[in-house]
Structure formats: structure tokens, C-alpha cells
């Protein structure tokens, strides 16, 4: 970085020095001047399409799109002129000319970036009457169990396309047709559910409006809570406690575990559990499976199976790797499975009367609950999966003053969890947790290392080798399906001989999942959200006296009373699953 030349520019008359490869947008930001953007996403969508960032600079004929216009020495940048304010306002009014403007009933009201800008610029609705107002509204695509598209709210910024095609390297959505007819959709106007969409939901968190949102399953949960014949339990995924506060105006990186438990209890659930317990369970099962594969010539590398977005990605795009997937269910499914079998038997409750909910940072989990081979008790392991955002909306609807709640504890007997489980929500976390356990299972005793620093951090692909006894365990960790593609291609080409691989579909892991609270692009462009949120999990890990999954006493109790050994036949029946080879265009003959 040090050899990048600096140039002098003036922002609204104030001179500053910035690197010569800066854009006008970045230079203004360095001078504490915020230039509004709608389409701009750093690195993945720098297309200058929305024209909201128009700014006056010397040497250009008209106004320039600040997000893509490079600075030059001596340039004067002006954002404080009437011309600039009017141009931005005009462009917002043009965007609104074919927007449905139903803000009152819109799920993104108050988190919508378009609405925010319109307020800031004093835009009048309906300045430009839509000449095609009599046209049929765009049909809403609600074919997917996870992601719903409403193009009546779409402003064609293409951020979802960038998330899907560039960030995730999937590309099942893109702009179709031309001119006024341009709309975002799939090839041949296929429904999203018919495409090889993996339901990761990154398109949702990058959408500035409500053109994309998750299927709202909160009413099903409210209905179950109101039903006196149902025992309604919920378990909370590791990363939800690290992000839920953001929905209530708290800063990213605030741990709200205690408030979350309290709020959920106030919603009327019969029991609130910690999914970290089954994260630990996933680890002991997965580590046992890994050792078995290494010692008995099983399929290697073994790849983790906690991320349902990754599972669907693998099934569609790399079906030949489905045998490499660990057969372990995800922690969510394990929890439901163990609850509707072990706990139900122990408490003499018919599993059909249990309504089991999970709250997760993930839209792909909504697909996972409906998968085959996920019904250990004969009933679906999990009835409904709601995202962090949906939980926040339930809390808001119930009038709970979240920020001022007293901390409460999870319900027993499923409250106990280790530090290893805490870090499941960050890329590298599952790997680190598994290594802590696998190393000790292999050695049959203590392993000197607890912190596996090499697999931490938000880098897309990480490699490490650990010496366990006389065994060299080569591992790889990757997050984001674009990185998964690179890694799997390297394995196919024989360039990577890792034996154990962790893959998560979302870049940075669950903390950056598709179901996490909305953060506007200005935050996403300037803060490493995944790292800030993950810091909550890593400090919870280091604060925990128990660091290794197999030392969890609640877990040991379940194995002693019910499952037997790690990886026993009964454990396999309840805690493991199977996969489908889907292919990409399987529905086209």
C-alpha cells in the first residue's frame, strides 16, 4: 500500500490528501462527507447505474457518478451545491416513478435505503406519474420456501445480481429484457424454486428495498404458541445472539444472549434452549466420523455439513462431492431430532404435540426443515425455522422493550454448551471446534492446543496442517460459495489434499448469513461486519470454562442415557442424514 501515490483534492473547499486510486466517493468519505449511493457495493457492484451519487468535480463536463469516478491531483469535489441536491432529488423521483410506494405495509419500512434517501432529500411521491400505471403489477415470485421476489419494489440497482453472480459465483438471477421491460429474474422466467438457487439469502441482505425478502413464517409460530395443545420450544443458533441487537439499534458486535432469552420467554414459548448444545453434538459426531473415515479408508476429504446453503450448493453444482459430505445433520436438525425423541420419551410427551422452532441467521434453513430424511421421531425434526430478522419482528410486535431487558438464562437441561459451540457461527469455527475434539479422540488424551488461530479470520480460503500424534491432519476452511467452487476445483485437479474441510455458504460464515439484520450498504462497504460480529463469539469462547465439545456434561448425559457411544447406531439413526445429487439444470431434459 505504501507505494501508492497520494494526490491532493478539495472536498467542499477543504483540502485533503488521498491515495491516487481513490474514487470521488472514497475521497469524500475520507473528508467526512457522505455521498449517498444505492447501487454501489464495494468490489462487487461498481457500475454507476443509479446516479444517486452525482457530484460536481472540476474538469468533468457534467456531474459524475462519485462511486466510479477516480480522483485526480488538484480536483475540486463539490457536494454542497444546489445543482447536486436537485440532481439527486430528481433521480430519486425518477426511481419512484415506477415504484409501488406502499411503504406503510412494507417489511423494509425504516430499513429501506430508498425510503431513507427520499426522506433526506425531501422527495415528493408522484412527481412523475407513471405513464404505464395501468399496467399489471409484476407477479410476486413466492415459489421458493426461503426467498420471495417482489419486482414492484425493485429499483434495478443489481445489488442482488452482484451478490448472487459475483460474490457467490452462482448467478441464478440477472437482468432480463431491455429498456422499460428490464426486470430481475431467472433464465426463461423460471421461478426461483425451479432454479439451482441455494437459498443463501445474500441477495436479501444486499437488497436496498423489499424487492427480496425471506418467507415470513412468524404467524405459524404465533399460531402454535396460541394453541394450548402444543408444547412450543425454540432453540437459538450460536450467531443470533451476536446480531439480534442490531435490529433494535444496538451496535454490531453486541452480545445480547441474555436479553434474547428473556425476550423469547416473553413471547410465550414453553422452553428456550441453546442450540450450542447440539453444535457440540455435531462436533462429537463429526469428529468420530472423521476419525472413522481416516482409519478405515472412508471417503476423504470429509466436508462439514452444518450449512444448508452449502449442502444445496454441493448437491447442485458438485454432486460428485456429496459422498464427501459428513452425514451429520446440522445442529438445528439434531436439536429437533433429539428433542422429539430423547426429551419427548423422557417427559412422556407425544412428539406430535411438540412444535419445535429454531431461530437461525439463515434463509436456507427454511429449506432444510422440509428435506427428506430429517424426521427422526416420525415427525419433522424442526417445524419452523425463523431468521434473526423474523425473531426481531416478533419481539417488536409483542411490544417487548428489548434494549432494557434483564438478562436471563437458557432452559435446562439443554442450556450447557462449550466455547467450541460458541464459535460455530463464524467461518473456521466448526473446524476449530472439531479439531479440539478430534485431536483428543485420536490421542485418547489431552491435546496441547485449544486455540487454532490459523483457521480464524474472514479470509475466503484458509489452510493449516496440525500434527496429532504421528498423524498430519491437513485442513481447509472456506466461506462463500465462490470460494467453495475454487477449493473444490482445486481438489478435482489434485492440487489440494486436505483431509478435512469446513465450508459455509455465506462469506464469513453464519454471522454474515442471509437471515441476519439488515445493514445498509454504507455499513457493509466500510465495516467488516463478519469480523465484528464474530468477535462476540470468540470472546464467549475464551470466557467459557469448557472449551471442548466432548467435555459438555449435558451432552455426556444424553449419550449416557440415550444414544450410547459417539457415532453409535442409534446416534446415526437420529443425528445423521443423506443427500441428493441434484445437478444444475436437472429440470431441463
Partner 1 sequence: MKKQPTTVPFRGTAEQEQQLLSVIEKYRGIKGAMMPILQEAQGIYGYLPIEVLKIIAEKTDTPMEVIYGIVSFYSQFKLNYDGDITISICMGTACYVKGSADVLNEVASELGVEPGATSSDGRYSLDATRCIGACGLAPVMIINGTVYGRVKKEEVAGILAKYKE
Sign of the alpha-carbon dihedral angle for 372, 375, 381, 384: positive
Pairing of strands 500-504, 302-303: parallel
Residue 313, SS3?
A: helix
Q: Least CB distance from residue 22 to partner 1, whole Å? A: 29
Of residues 140, 141, 198, 139, the one with CA closest to residue 164 = 198
193 touches partner 1 (CB under 8 A): no
152 touches partner 1 (CB under 8 A): no
What does DSSP assign to residue 552?
-
Sign of the alpha-carbon dihedral angle for 398, 402, 404, 406: positive
**Which of these segments, 107-115, 179-187, 279-287, 537-545, binds partner 1 (CB under 8 A)?**
179-187
Our CB check for partner 1 shows the closer of 15 and 189 to be: 189
Cell numbers for 116, please give them: 431513507
Q: Least CB distance from residue 178 to partner 1, whole Å? A: 5
Our CB check for partner 1 shows the closer of 65 and 165 to be: 165
Our CB check for partner 1 shows the closer of 188 and 229 to be: 188
State which of residues 5, 61, 134, 589 lies at the interface with partner 1 (CB under 8 A).
589
Our CB check for partner 1 shows the closer of 465 and 584 to be: 584
Across 409-470, the runs of DSSP E, i.e. the strands, are 461-468
State which of residues 35, 75, 172, 224 lies at the interface with partner 1 (CB under 8 A).
172
176 touches partner 1 (CB under 8 A): yes
575 touches partner 1 (CB under 8 A): no
Applying CB under 8 A, the site for partner 1 has a residue count of 20
585 touches partner 1 (CB under 8 A): yes
Our CB check for partner 1 shows the closer of 126 and 175 to be: 175
175 touches partner 1 (CB under 8 A): yes
CA distance 559 to 544: 22
What is the Cβ-side half-sphere exposure of residue 354, based on CA atoms within 13 angstroms? 29
CA distance 227 to 422: 33
192 conformational bin, left if phi > 0, alpha if psi -120 to 50, beta if neither: alpha
181 touches partner 1 (CB under 8 A): yes
What does DSSP assign to residue 342?
I
**Cα 486-23-530 angle, rounded to 5 deg:** 45
**Which of these segments, 31-39, 135-143, 149-157, 580-588, binds partner 1 (CB under 8 A)?**
580-588
139 touches partner 1 (CB under 8 A): no
Cell numbers for 93, please give them: 423521483
Our CB check for partner 1 shows the closer of 128 and 585 to be: 585
For the window 195-224, what string marks contact with partner 1 as x by the rule CB under 8 A? x-----------------------------
Cell numbers for 42, please give them: 464495494
CA distance 513 to 239: 9
173 touches partner 1 (CB under 8 A): yes
Our CB check for partner 1 shows the closer of 187 and 490 to be: 187
CA distance 57 to 464: 48
Our CB check for partner 1 shows the closer of 171 and 258 to be: 171
460 touches partner 1 (CB under 8 A): no
170 touches partner 1 (CB under 8 A): yes
Note whether 203 and 164 are within 8 A (CB): yes
**Binding footprint of partner 1 on the chain (CB under 8 A):** 165, 170-178, 181, 186-189, 195, 584-585, 588-589
Amino acid at each position: 500500500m505504501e507505494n501508492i501515490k497520494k494526490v491532493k483534492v478539495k472536498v467542499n473547499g477543504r483540502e485533503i490528501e488521498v491515495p491516487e486510486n481513490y474514487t470521488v466517493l472514497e475521497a469524500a468519505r475520507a473528508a467526512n462527507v457522505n455521498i449517498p449511493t444505492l447501487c454501489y457495493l464495494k468490489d462487487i457492484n461498481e457500475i454507476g447505474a443509479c446516479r444517486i451519487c452525482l457530484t460536481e468535480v472540476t474538469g468533468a463536463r457534467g456531474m459524475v457518478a462519485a462511486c466510479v469516478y477516480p480522483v485526480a491531483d488538484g480536483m475540486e469535489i463539490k457536494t454542497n451545491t444546489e445543482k447536486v441536491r436537485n440532481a439527486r432529488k430528481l433521480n430519486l423521483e425518477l426511481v419512484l416513478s415506477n415504484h409501488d410506494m406502499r411503504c406503510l405495509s412494507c417489511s423494509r419500512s425504516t430499513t429501506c435505503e430508498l425510503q431513507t434517501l427520499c426522506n433526506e432529500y425531501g422527495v415528493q411521491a408522484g412527481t412523475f406519474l407513471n405513464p404505464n400505471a395501468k399496467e399489471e403489477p409484476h407477479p410476486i415470485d413466492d415459489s421458493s420456501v426461503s426467498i420471495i421476489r417482489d419486482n414492484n419494489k425493485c429499483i434495478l440497482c443489481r445489488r442482488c445480481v452482484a451478490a448472487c453472480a459475483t460474490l457467490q459465483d452462482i448467478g441464478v438471477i440477472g437482468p432480463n429484457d431491455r429498456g422499460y421491460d428490464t426486470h430481475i429474474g431467472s433464465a426463461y422466467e423460471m421461478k426461483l424454486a425451479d432454479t439451482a438457487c441455494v437459498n443463501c439469502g445474500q441477495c436479501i441482505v444486499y437488497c436496498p428495498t423489499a424487492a427480496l425478502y425471506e418467507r415470513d413464517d412468524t404467524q405459524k409460530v404465533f399460531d402454535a404458541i396460541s394453541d394450548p395443545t402444543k408444547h412450543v420450544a425454540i432453540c437459538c443458533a450460536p450467531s443470533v445472539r451476536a446480531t439480534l441487537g442490531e435490529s433494535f439499534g444496538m451496535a454490531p458486535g453486541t452480545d445480547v444472549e441474555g436479553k434474547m432469552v428473556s425476550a423469547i420467554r416473553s413471547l410465550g414459548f414453553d422452553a428456550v434452549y441453546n442450540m450450542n448444545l447440539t453444535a457440540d453434538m455435531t462436533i462429537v459426531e463429526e469428529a468420530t466420523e472423521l476419525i472413522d473415515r481416516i482409519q478405515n479408508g472412508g471417503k476423504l476429504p470429509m466436508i462439514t455439513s452444518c450449512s444448508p446453503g452449502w449442502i444445496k450448493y454441493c448437491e447442485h453444482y458438485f454432486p460428485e462431492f456429496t459422498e464427501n459430505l459428513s452425514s451429520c445433520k446440522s445442529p438445528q436438525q439434531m436439536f429437533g431430532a433429539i428433542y422429539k425423541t430423547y426429551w419427548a420419551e423422557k417427559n412422556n410427551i407425544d412428539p406430535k404435540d411438540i412444535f419445535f422452532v429454531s431461530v437461525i441467521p439463515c434463509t436456507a434453513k427454511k429449506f432444510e426443515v422440509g428435506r427428506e430424511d430429517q424426521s427422526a421421531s416420525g415427525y419433522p425434526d424442526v417445524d419452523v425455522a425463523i431468521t434473526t430478522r423474523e425473531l426481531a419482528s416478533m419481539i417488536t410486535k409483542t411490544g417487548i422493550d428489548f434494549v432494557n431487558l434483564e438478562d436471563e438464562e437458557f432452559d435446562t437441561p439443554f442450556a450447557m454448551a462449550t466455547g467450541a459451540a460458541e464459535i460455530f457461527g463464524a467461518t473456521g469455527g466448526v473446524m476449530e471446534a472439531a479439531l479440539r475434539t478430534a485431536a483428543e479422540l485420536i490421542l485418547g488424551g489431552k491435546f496441547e492446543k485449544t486455540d487454532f488461530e490459523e483457521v480464524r479470520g474472514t479470509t475466503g480460503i484458509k489452510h493449516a496442517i496440525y500434527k496429532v500424534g504421528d498423524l498430519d491432519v491437513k485442513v481447509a476452511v472456506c466461506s462463500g460459495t465462490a470460494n467453495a467452487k475454487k477449493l473444490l476445483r482445486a481438489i478435482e485437479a489434485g492440487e489440494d489434499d486436505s483431509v478435512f474441510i469446513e465450508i459455509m455458504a455465506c462469506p464469513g460464515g453464519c454471522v454474515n448469513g442471509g437471515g441476519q439484520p439488515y445493514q445498509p450498504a454504507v455499513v457493509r462497504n466500510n465495516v467488516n461486519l463478519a469480523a465484528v460480529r464474530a468477535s462476540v463469539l470468540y470472546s464467549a469462547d475464551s470466557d467459557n470454562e469448557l472449551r471442548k465439545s466432548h467435555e459438555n456434561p449435558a451432552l455426556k448425559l444424553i449419550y449416557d442415557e440415550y444414544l450410547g457411544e459417539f457415532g453409535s447406531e442409534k446416534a446415526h439413526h437420529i443425528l445423521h442424514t443423506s443427500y441428493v445429487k441434484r445437478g444444475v439444470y436437472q429440470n431441463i431434459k
